[in-house]
Amino acid sequence: MITADNDNRGITLAEAQKMVDHWITTIGVKYFSPLTNMAILAEETGEVARQMSRIYGDQSFKDGESANLGDELADLLWVTLAIANQCDIDMTAAFEANLLKKTQRDALRHTANEKLHKTNND
């Protein structure tokens, strides 16, 4: 099993992708179809939304339920990495390219957005 190095740097995206692949191909037997994983991604997104609406919104948890936003976000990351593995996507490269795209595109956009400079009292 692949684990994080003991230098307190945590798990890289590449390591996480390998860990997901190892788990799926050993314990999980094989990957679900890409379409099934897409449905699971939608399901997990809904579960994150449910947590957010109860933690930060107006809804409350039912008896016996509790906040587990971190676990739900981890589920979302898991299936995202599984889809990336199936589609032969290096998530480190994809994330770096995405961050660069956002930085170039939005270099001035948000600082120039007056809505973001208003306080809740405005």
In tens, the pLDDT along 85-94 reads 999 999 999 9
Choosing among 1.10.8.10, 3.30.530.20, 2.40.110.10, 1.10.287.1080, the CATH entry for 13-90 is 1.10.287.1080
Run of H or E residues at 69:
helix 69-86
Q: Which amino acid is at 94?
A: A
> How far does Cα 120 stand from its chain's mean position?
29
Residue 4 has pLDDT above 70, yes or no: no
Task: Look at residue 68 and give its three-state secondary structure.
Answer: coil
- This prediction has a pTM of 0.84
Q: Which residue in the block uniquely carries the two structure tokens 């956002």?
A: 102
Q: Which residue in the block uniquely carries the two structure tokens 């996480």?
A: 16
pLDDT of residue 106: 86
